[in-house]
């Protein structure tokens, strides 16, 4: 299994876990698709990035925070 395939599988699993409660709350399909794509793309970027001056375990948190912040602030 290549790194890209693994990152897509992890992103799809995380996106699905995030979308299930949204569907139960009957949110719009657009919101669900947006959340799924955010998690899918975040996983791919996290798997392939190496941020300087950060330990390996902080890379994922930093990238996810940078990707989620514009979505959270857009209200």
| pLDDT averaged over every residue in the chain | 89
Q: If you write DSSP's letter for every residue of 20-42 in order, what string do you get?
A: HHHHHTT--HHHHHHHHHHHHHH
**Domain around 40:** 3-73
> pLDDT tens, 43-67?
999 888 888 898 888 988 898 888 8
Percentage of the residues of the chain whose pLDDT score is greater than 90: 47
∠ CA 16-10-62, nearest 5°, is 100
Q: How many domains does the chain have?
A: 1
- The conformation of residue 75, written as its DSSP 8-state character, comes to -
The predicted model scores a pTM of: 0.78
């Amino acid at each position: 299994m290549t790194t890209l395939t693994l990152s897509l599988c992890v992103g799809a699993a995380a996106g699905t876990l995030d979308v299930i409660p949204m569907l139960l709350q009957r949110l719009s399909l657009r919101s669900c698709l947006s959340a799924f794509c955010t998690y899918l793309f975040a996983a791919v970027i996290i798997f392939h990035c190496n941020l300087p001056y950060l330990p390996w375990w902080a890379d994922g948190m930093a990238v996810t925070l940078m990707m989620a912040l514009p979505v959270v602030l857009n209200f």
